[in-house]
Amino acid sequence: MIRAGWRSHLTTVLLIAAFAVPGVPANAAVIDPAALVDTFVGTTGDGHDFPGADTPFGMMQWSPDTSSRPKGGGYEYNDSTIRGFSLTHVAGPGCVAADDVPFLPTTGTISNPGSATASFTHAKESASPGYYSVGLGSGVTAELTTATRSGIGRFTYPAGTPANMIIKVGDNPSPVSASSVTVVGNDTITGSVTGVGFCEANNPFTLYFSATFDHPFTASGSYNGGEYVTFDTSAGSVVQARVGISYVSAANARSNVDLEIPGWGFDTTRASAYQAWNARLGRIKIAGGTSGQQHVFYTALYHSLLHPNVFSDVNGQYLGFDNAVHTTAAGHSHYANYSGWDIYRTQAQLSALIAPDAASDMAQSMVDDYRQGGTLPKWAMNNAETYIMVGDPADAVLADYYAFGARDFDTSGALAAMVHQATATNNARPGGAYLDSFGYLPTDSPYGCCHYYAGVSSQLEYDTADFALSAYAAALGDTADAAKFRDRAQNWRNIFNPSSGYLQPRHSNGRWMTGFLAAPISGGTNSNDFAEGDSLIYTGMVPFNIAGLAAAKGGNAAMAKYLDGVLSGYTGLLSLAGLQSNMGNEPSFELPWEYDYIGQPYRTQQVVRQIQDQLWTDTPGGLAGNDDLGAMSAWYVWSALGLYPETPGTADLALGSPLFTSAAITLPGGHTLTINAPQAADNAPYVQSLALNGSAWNNAYLPASVISAGGTLDHTLGTSANTSWASAPSAAPPSYDGTATPFPAEPIGAVTSSLAGNCIDVANASNANGTAVQLYPCNGSNAQTWTVVPDGTVQALTKCLDVTKGGTANGTQVQLYVCNGTASQQWQSTSDGQLVNPQSGRCLTDPGNSTTAKTRLEIDDCQRATGQLWGLPH
């Protein structure tokens, strides 16, 4: 929808004819979906979207940055001041990103150009896919439109005042480590900016630009962080700028704009961008629903198709993960910006469905990133890995692309990369080796580098990655890896506590974290073990084996009780984690669809509709959480179609109910999936019956073959629940079980001294850090019950036998200390009974071979002395 503020239209007859909303009956198929897109949705609150000009998956997003410059999108709807119109943006991340090289038109005398801003009101603002316009308080009207790697700006200055353009090269929300700007001739400016950091990462990214104006400069000047130029507009008040960008060079930036926008045809470029959006959005044609629902749907679909972004230039060159320049194969593009943790649940599948050509190139780009940088993208920004968020989402993203029809990439190379990343010691899966040795990620064990945290969440993400890898391997005929990773994916069972019915942190000695059981009930969370959630939310995150999870919880009734509790509310606030779901954030996305797996699909239909109604609106605050590069928007698209890709790596679709009377989806292979629901209405979410290709369908899922072969779904919907439809056990969507890695059997008991009757003892049975470890008469207490753990630690009272302060000298005392994976907590048993600390090369010692109770133990040179011989439990 073209908006000025929220409801005005363009004023020129020509553009009304080209871009106005078609007047079609409510139940007729939408023929101009781009006209229903409202780019201002998600521009206030937590959405962090931006309203500016772009093309599907485009490198350039030319959009305003307002005074508060919120994360990623750079635009806050409630602001009234614009800092500039920058060339790159990221839709909806939780950290600042991009917003590179703002252009700001001004009038009058230039002073303090770096701090210059412009006031604006929404009454003079309008936008549509590929276009943005605003009237500034200075009297300047700025219009922006784009091609893939370039854009053209049209700036109309008021008569009789000096006309200026400030290029704020150094104005970037991320720290700028370097910037440059050069005036070329009397009409062109080139330059670059290097910003450092995304979230906690510190990777530098350099963007090059080239801007050519259709008016010569009458004056120019440099300032710290940018350049300004002045034009003579006495003969014409409209100044245009053709701008290209590149991550390779300024020369490539110039080539990009020269080839994509060779002339000064602003309206032609705008029309091409609009047509590109209609081509993508038109892959799903809906009919019915309210006007607001149609706006929300196509706006969500639009936001789903903004990322990942083209990263290669027109000549095919791009900067690889090895910081070398590479060239893509002819006819293909390299892509960047993968918010893996977010997009694998919704957006990857949707982009493959709607844009299989682009998604295939995205998959190939991931494989190329692996070859150049050593790991598949996790949360990759431009040409570097940031390691933001947890898990190994590349497996699910690649498998999702393949399952939903994007298959024009090196599929065997992708499989080899996935298997290597899942089995080798690498930065992408910190702690991953524990999945084979322990069968879970112990909460007290080391994990290495790369932004590791949240052990339970990481484990569940690794399990999901393993399953997606298994499904992908099976699709490619690799039965051995399919079986191996399908089994290892079941390791969630090793952190499921049957006593509480929750997935919980577990120590390396097998004990459950003490004091944790109340957390899901009271709302407490343990930030060390969960990423943006808690056990209440994460206990449902076994999307490939809901049947197994339900059985572990005690059956479908117990699973239903859990879902009823966690879905008692749908907040978008992390502050309420522990009390209900957070449907504004990814870990909760799958929960409403899990009723399908336990014989209650009517509850999926009911809850999904409630979420749609409560959290989604056609307003600037219409997103309940970060859009996260289209992940949240894609959830709405799937839900409005009555479908959801619950199981990563497969094309299995759990069923809800359609929001529209009909939808026709053009599938990657050219077939069509038609979804008919003539009774569809906001108050009629309940499936009474369903037919697939004319035959009754009583299952709560669609077969994966629908994605390739297409078909027709005919729904009969109603306002009251049909509790019997698709309720039989055989009607549930597929769950995929296997054999979890067995938890290793560990010796537990006393560690006895060769001096008869004495044992290693924790003083006063205290597990406080620094508690003395001593010799004491054996008494069978917990203070003398030690676990010999496969990672080389010896533990009692949930903590580790530790050499104080990592000392290596003779006489350094030992203590009880929280397990931290350091070498001071490693012990090796020799055949004759000595316990050697490899870091120091010295042995655990009872000094002087003492038999005195409470003698403090220490490390000393290994001499096979009587006080150095210990009997471990067997």
- For the stretch 676-716, pLDDT in tens is 999 999 999 999 999 999 999 999 999 999 999 999 999 99
Whole-number average pLDDT of the chain:
92
Q: Are 633 and 100 in contact (CB under 8 A)?
A: no
Residue 520 has pLDDT above 80, yes or no: no
**Per-residue model confidence (pLDDT) at position 522:** 39
> In this predicted model, what pLDDT tens digit does every residue of 724-759 receive, in sequence order?
999 999 999 999 999 999 988 889 999 999 998 999
**Euclidean distance between CA atoms 565 and 544, whole angstroms:** 21
Q: Are 473 and 481 in contact (CB under 8 A)?
A: yes
Is 2.70.98.10 the CATH number for 3-281? Answer: yes
> What are the start and end residues of each CATH 2.70.98.10 domain in the chain?
3-281
Q: Which residues does residue 665 pair with via DSSP β-bridges, in sequence order?
A: 284, 673
**Euclidean distance between CA atoms 168 and 166, whole angstroms:** 6
pTM of the entire predicted model: 0.92
Residue whose entry in the numeric block shows the structure tokens 């879970």: 440
**Euclidean distance between CA atoms 363 and 369, whole angstroms:** 10
Q: Are 236 and 158 in contact (CB under 8 A)?
A: no
- Which ranges in 599-667 belong to alpha helices (H)? 601-615, 631-641
Residue whose entry in the numeric block shows the structure tokens 């004990």: 511
> In this predicted model, what pLDDT tens digit does every residue of 75-100 receive, in sequence order?
999 999 999 999 999 999 988 889 99
DSSP state at residue 744: P
DSSP state at residue 523: T
Tokens for 746? 């560990």
**Rounded mean pLDDT, 548-563:** 97
Tokens for 247? 């991550």
Q: Are 526 and 516 in contact (CB under 8 A)?
A: yes
Q: Are 179 and 169 in contact (CB under 8 A)?
A: yes
**Per-residue model confidence (pLDDT) at position 524:** 42
Selected residue with higher pLDDT from 446 and 843: 843
> In this predicted model, what pLDDT tens digit does every residue of 814-849 receive, in sequence order?
999 988 878 999 999 999 999 999 999 999 999 999
Report CA 801 to chain centroid distance, whole Å.
39
**Per-residue model confidence (pLDDT) at position 311:** 98
> What are the start and end residues of each CATH 1.20.1050.60 domain in the chain?
312-429
**Per-residue model confidence (pLDDT) at position 470:** 98
SS3 at position 236: coil
Q: What is the 3-state secondary structure (H, E, C) of 165-192?
A: EEECCCCCCCCEEEEEEEEECCCEEEEE
- Residue range 312-429, CATH number: 1.20.1050.60
Residue 228 has pLDDT above 80, yes or no: yes
**Per-residue model confidence (pLDDT) at position 578:** 57
> In this predicted model, what pLDDT tens digit does every residue of 50-69 receive, in sequence order?
999 999 999 999 999 999 98
Residue 8 has pLDDT above 50, yes or no: no
Q: For residue 450, how many other CB atoms are within 10 A of its CB?
A: 17
**Per-residue model confidence (pLDDT) at position 521:** 42
**Per-residue model confidence (pLDDT) at position 62:** 98
> In this predicted model, what pLDDT tens digit does every residue of 533-544 receive, in sequence order?
888 899 999 999
Question: Radius of gyration of the chain from Cα atoms?
Answer: 30
Q: Which residues does residue 283 pair with via DSSP β-bridges, in sequence order?
A: none
Q: What are the backbone dihedrals phi and psi of residue 352, each rounded to the nearest 5 degrees, phi first?
A: -65, -40
Give the CA distances from residue 807 to residues 614, 719, 789, 856, in Å, rounded to whole numbers and listed in that order. 59, 71, 22, 15
> In this predicted model, what pLDDT tens digit does every residue of 379-419 receive, in sequence order?
999 999 999 899 999 999 999 999 999 999 999 999 999 99
Q: What are the backbone dihedrals phi and psi of residue 289, each rounded to the nearest 5 degrees, phi first?
A: 75, 170
pLDDT band (50, 70, 90) for residue 446: low
> What are the start and end residues of each CATH 2.80.10.50 domain in the chain?
748-871
pLDDT band (50, 70, 90) for residue 237: very high
Tokens for 194? 């290097």
pLDDT band (50, 70, 90) for residue 198: confident
DSSP state at residue 521: H
Crossing angle for the helix pair 479-488 and 455-475, nearest 10 degrees? 160
> In this predicted model, what pLDDT tens digit does every residue of 177-197 receive, in sequence order?
899 999 999 999 999 999 888
Question: What is the H or E stretch that residue 41 is in?
Answer: none
> In this predicted model, what pLDDT tens digit does every residue of 593-636 receive, in sequence order?
999 999 999 999 999 999 999 999 999 999 989 999 999 999 99
Of 282, 329, 476, 472, nearest to 395 by C-alpha is: 472
Give 856-859's long-range contacts (Cβ < 8 A, gap of 24+).
Answer: 856/772, 856/773, 856/774, 856/813, 857/760, 857/773, 857/774, 857/775, 857/813, 857/814, 858/810, 858/811, 858/812, 858/813, 858/814, 859/803, 859/807, 859/808, 859/810, 859/811, 859/812, 859/814
**Euclidean distance between CA atoms 44 and 500, whole angstroms:** 40
**Rounded mean pLDDT, 282-307:** 98
**Per-residue model confidence (pLDDT) at position 517:** 52
> Is the preceding peptide bond at 308 cis, omega within 30 degrees of 0?
yes
Selected residue with higher pLDDT from 14 and 555: 555
Residue 29 has pLDDT above 70, yes or no: yes
Selected residue with higher pLDDT from 130 and 424: 130
What does 684-704 look like in DSSP terms, one character per residue? Answer: --EEEEEEETTEE---SEE-T
Is 2.60.40.10 the CATH number for 748-871? Answer: no
> In this predicted model, what pLDDT tens digit does every residue of 143-160 receive, in sequence order?
999 999 999 999 999 998
CA dihedral 517, 520, 523, 524 (to 10 degrees): 40
